A and B are shown apart, each in its own frame.
Chain A
């Protein structure tokens, strides 16, 4: 048997998840514990951390130091930007996005949530459901994260009391019902002591469910449950006319990634927005022909007819068209430090398409602490609002709730080139 075969087989793909909570909830400690207990914290990182801990006068190694990155944050002792961490178990590879909990950093949580398929929402067992818990839950819901795990942490500080856990769970469910959050799991744990993270520990025997890692190991990966209509935004057109190989002179490969659904050779397709039709002649990657391509696969499509297709066009299956529109209605999160100015034009980028856009109306601004709808004329950083846009060029869109890829867009300020907004099409 070769060494490769003896390696733990990673057969359950990749899971991206997000942790939300404030510094005080022990979020950094939780991630540190996951990394530590899955043996991904490597020896010299530990040495460096042990030295830092000594300097700060801490007695035990502080696991939260593993997730603090930038100098400024180390000085302030808080996390101010999204950090990505990686670990692997025998079954799966994980990408953890650690988003800060402070109110002023809503944009960071929205950023981290945009690529996550599961969110761990931390609650301090002594404090229960707080305003920030509601805020985090709403944002996870808004960004379409399909699975939420509510981790009730610091059980050690409430004597591992089951009644406390049940009370918080009931409070949360009541609130989740008002939002329409469906898939929620609850777990009691102590990140500090490592109870119910990777090992069960001995102090929470009244809880029969899986450990936190157990939940992560079995959570469906994003591509298992996506919208199944085929969506293929064209990124790049390959036309190697000047190649020495004469056979390539008529080659036209449409390069992109299957954002959802799947496609097979012979399938009839529709090109948007032109609405021209053709059939898939071949699916290739690096000289290899494939009979089918599935969600999240980057491939090159060749069509039977000579159709004029360029970057920004969308290939779909006949009968499964998107909405092709010059007007969109969306939930918008403003990320820019300069407030949104409804008089100005902005750029919108959706899939591989870009168009100028004007604000048509701001329906309301949402107070994300109370979920109250308030009137608004301008939007500042971290504001979330319902807004509609008029577009210079048509976009091919699906509602975000159906498709996180074709339903999402960013807003770019042309003067600074900064990404100033994130939108989810309704």
Chain B
């Protein structure tokens, strides 16, 4: 008969286990890659990555710089926070912007105010080429979206930055393979196995500081397609829109034109965790206008080099 009974050995809590796995992944990147970089947006997932990097490498400096791909469509609180945090950690921050790619003509906009999330891929690939990065560390999680649920922790990209979901490297145990030829690179995802709730619990436990827009605040919004669209210079109210002043918070940060806040009065991390635990709606569906276009839109963008 079964021996499915508990043994009295010391073991890690689920957060400790996740933290330890992420540290292991970061150290494998440092051990295997010649010129890695950590993608840092100022968003909560990348702030968690920075804390994990501190745990992995202090008292030494990070064995990689930080890179931000600036869409030019930002909430200034997030950009200010990005700069503050990099400075506080005394680590090198590289910023490359989609605006520059537009000026170079490598990004061509269909309309001047269209969302720039997908154009980040071009600027990212240009930065990878400029600095010769062989690995980009990112804060993507498998629970965010269906296509991500199948991505490897060390995900191979060819010289065009493309992800081929049908031809992924086998990844067994925790034996990661970061070998690439010149021009190719690896995207490494240390928090692949974390969920949104895990991230919030970790932020609370580690007392990680966040940009203010993650907490409930009053903001002018209009309701569009079941989502809230903030009224900003880039996204002005259209004729016939009803502008409401609501208490909202952001669950993800990204391009202003396609990142929607949720109605919330959660003004502390503890209240956000409470809402997150009780929530019945997944992160991206609720807050990313561009993911709603088609069921397979994330997979399509990833194939083209999106993070």
Contact = CB atoms under 8 A, between A and B. Distances in A.
Contacts of A182: 3
A103 to B, nearest CB: 17
B11 A13 contact: yes
Contacts of B19: 298
A408 B173 contact: yes
Nearest to B184: A417
Contact of B285 (A44, A243, A245, A419): A44
Contacts, number: 221
Interface stretch (B50-58, B106-114, B241-249): B50-58
Size bracket, chain B contacts: 35 or more
Contacts of B174: 115, 405
A359 interface: no
A245 B61 CA distance: 12
A3 B2 contact: no
Contacts of B195: 86, 88, 93
Contacts of B169: 418-419
Interface string B153-188: 000000000000110111111110101110000000
Contacts of B28: 235, 352
A257 B20 contact: yes
A188 to B, nearest CB: 15
The dominant DSSP class at the A interface is mixed
A236 B60 CA distance: 11
Contact of B61 (A147, A185, A240): A240
Contact of B27 (A111, A235, A245): A235
B165 A45 contact: no
A286 B285 contact: no
B171 A224 contact: no
Contacts of B286: 44
A3 B273 contact: yes
Interface in A47-101: 47-48, 52, 68-72, 74, 80-86, 88, 92-93, 95
Nearest to B179: A417
A3 B281 contact: no
Nearest to A295: B11
B117 to A, nearest CB: 19
A83 B175 CA distance: 18
Contacts of B84: none
Contact of B17 (A13, A183, A185, A243): A13
Contact of A236 (B6, B30, B285): B30
Size bracket, chain A contacts: 35 or more
A170 interface: no
A15 to B, nearest CB: 9
A223 interface: yes
A42 B281 contact: yes
A363 interface: no
Q: Specify which of A72, A294, A297 lies most central, judged by the most chain B CB atoms within 10 Å of its CB.
A: A297
Contacts of B274: 3, 6-7
B129 interface: no
Contact of B4 (A219, A255, A295, A311): A219
Interface string B13-26: 11011111101100
Given A13-B13, A220-B6, A262-B10, A422 B172 contact: yes
B277 interface: yes
Contacts of B147: 69-70
A157 interface: no
A419 B170 contact: yes
A412 interface: yes
A310 B201 CA distance: 35
B263 interface: no
Given A13-B12, A83-B149, A107 B282 contact: no
Contacts of A409: 175
A238 B57 contact: yes
A190 B177 CA distance: 40
B59 A287 contact: yes
A286 B54 contact: yes
Given A48-B295, A70-B147, A85-B149, A257 B170 contact: no
A311 B170 contact: no
B18 A14 contact: yes
Interface of A: 2-4, 6-8, 10-11, 13-14, 39, 42-45, 47-48, 52, 68-72, 74, 80-86, 88, 92-93, 95, 107, 110-111, 114-115, 147, 182-185, 215, 218-221, 223-225, 235-236, 238-240, 243, 245, 248, 251, 253, 255-257, 262, 285-287, 294-298, 311, 335, 349-350, 352, 404-405, 408-410, 412, 417-419, 422
22 contacts: A13-B12, A14-B17, A42-B282, A44-B282, A48-B285, A70-B146, A82-B150, A86-B143, A86-B195, A111-B170, A215-B4, A235-B31, A243-B61, A245-B59, A286-B54, A298-B23, A298-B24, A335-B170, A350-B175, A412-B177, A417-B177, A417-B179
Given A3-B270, A298-B23, A410-B173, 18 more contacts: A3-B271, A48-B285, A70-B166, A81-B166, A86-B142, A115-B174, A147-B2, A185-B4, A220-B5, A220-B7, A223-B9, A223-B11, A240-B61, A253-B59, A253-B60, A294-B10, A408-B175, A419-B177
